[in-house]
Structure 1
Amino acid sequence: MIRKLVTLSLPVAALVGGAFAGDMLRGPADTSADPAAPDHAAADHAAVDPVADDHAEPKPPVAADDHGGDASAAFGEEGFFTFPSQFFVPLVRQGDMRDMMILTLTLQTNAASIDALGRKEHALRDALLRALMIHANTGGFDGNYTADRNLVLLRKSLMTATKTVTKLPVSAVLIEDIALQPG
């Protein structure tokens, strides 16, 4: 009887202990109630932007980024359009599908263009998948596909494919996840 009681109470004790530990590790919910508490958000903002003054002049946009995009997204608030599903690219060699590349892609843009990119999602997916298949068929995913020079070529071709579909300000194609699934 004791053995059954211990077996049933152990998971309950672990749950209660985990909840208690999580509550203890979580910071205070409202730091504005304690005036002596340091303002970490303001300190982080000041560390990122040394000119945290409201009268500061806006910074001029950078001419171009490393991924072939323009800096037109530098005006306004930055935004990201993440495709709701992953890209699956079959790796075919000599007529046989051996492996599958799985990628999660996001487009870096300004906040005002996110909805417009969502309306063009199907055309963007088609263009990006076409570029991914060309990359796969030319051996881009063979060998060390995560080497920097290979990823730069992949990002550049994805950016070119994006620019052929839309004139919206897309400054970069971000590869969030990339994995090879052996088949």
Structure 2
Amino acid sequence: MIKKLLPILLAVVGLGAGVGGGLMLRPAPEVVSIDPCGDTGTAETGDAHVIATADAHGEDGHGEGAPAASAYEYVKLNNQFVIPDLEGGRVISMIVLSLSLEAKTGSRENIYAREPKLRDAFLQVLFDHANTGGFKGAFTDSSTMNSLRQALLEVAQKILGPEINDVLVIDIVRQDIG
């Protein structure tokens, strides 16, 4: 009996040690900051990509009488969006998008708490965009993408309020079905 349980027990212990070691040794995400001059710097702190926007009154954003710099964090939505593109009732292509939100620093938990409602609203905007032909032809044209981003931003701000500054399309792929 012990001879049969020993390999299983060793496998479970080894698996647990491997997962624990992997979690402990993973690198911290990079934080990228950009000053008004366009210089970038990186630091390994925090859990979000942060852009600090400095005011024009001083290099560090704290010039005389200047307001403190405002900071945004980028919150990547957990799963991709998959949108069918229909023509004559048939699926002619599938569009896969990854989205991130540019939000005021500290908004991450609120965004993730409201993510199901946000995803539902984003899907409705994406389906409407597909139904009006937004993913046909040159679907990555800047005017087409800007109108899509604007529609997504309006919905995000309706759900989450003014803490959302922008919606970013991180990845977009169209797979035509032949």
Q: With the length of structure 1 as denominator, give the TM-score of the two structures.
A: 0.61
Equivalent position of 1:56 in the other structure = 63
Q: Is structure 2 residue 82 aligned with structure 1 residue 88?
A: yes
After TM superposition, give the deviation of residue 45 of structure 1 in Å.
Answer: 9.4
Q: Cα–Cα, structure 1 residues 55 and 83, in superposed 2: closer, same or farther, change >3 Å?
A: closer
What SS is found at the alignment partner of 1:171? Answer: strand
After TM superposition, give the deviation of residue 141 of structure 1 in Å.
Answer: 0.8
Report the RMSD for the aligned CA atoms in angstroms.
2.6
What SS is found at the alignment partner of 1:133? Answer: helix
Q: Is structure 2 residue 147 aligned with structure 1 residue 182?
A: no
The runs of at least 4 aligned residues of structure 1 exceeding 6 Å deviation read 44-47
Equivalent position of 1:20 in the other structure = none
- Taking the TM superposition and a 5 Å limit, the aligned residue runs for 1:35-114 are 48=39, 51-52=58-59, 56-57=63-64, 76-114=70-108
Greater shift, 48-57 or 155-164, is seen at 48-57
Equivalent position of 1:162 in the other structure = 156
Q: Relative contact order (alpha carbons < 8 A, sep ≥ 6): 1 or 2 greater?
A: 1
Equivalent position of 1:143 in the other structure = 137
- For 1:93 and 1:101, the matched residues in 2 are separated by 14
- For 1:160 and 1:121, the matched residues in 2 are separated by 15
Query: Quick one: percent identity of the two aligned structures?
Result: 31
CA contact (8 A) 2:61 2:69 kept: no
After TM superposition, give the deviation of residue 46 of structure 1 in Å.
Answer: 7.7
Q: Cα–Cα, structure 1 residues 53 and 91, in superposed 2: closer, same or farther, change >3 Å?
A: closer
Residues 37-64 of structure 1: per-residue CA shift (max 9 Å, x gap): xxxxxxx99863784458524756xxxx
- Structure whose residues are more often strand by fraction: 2
Code of the aligned partner of 1:125 = R
- For 1:101 and 1:148, the matched residues in 2 are separated by 17
After TM superposition, give the deviation of residue 111 of structure 1 in Å.
Answer: 1.3
- Structure whose residues are more often helix by fraction: 1
Code of the aligned partner of 1:88 = V
Equivalent position of 1:70 in the other structure = none
- For 2:141 and 2:37, the matched residues in 1 are separated by 35
Q: Cα–Cα, structure 1 residues 91 and 46, in superposed 2: closer, same or farther, change >3 Å?
A: closer
Q: With the length of structure 2 as denominator, give the TM-score of the two structures.
A: 0.63
- For 1:46 and 1:141, the matched residues in 2 are separated by 36
Code of the aligned partner of 2:106 = A
Out of 100, 122, 127, which is 2:121 matched to?
127
After TM superposition, give the deviation of residue 110 of structure 1 in Å.
Answer: 1.1
- For 1:140 and 1:89, the matched residues in 2 are separated by 11
Larger radius of gyration: 1
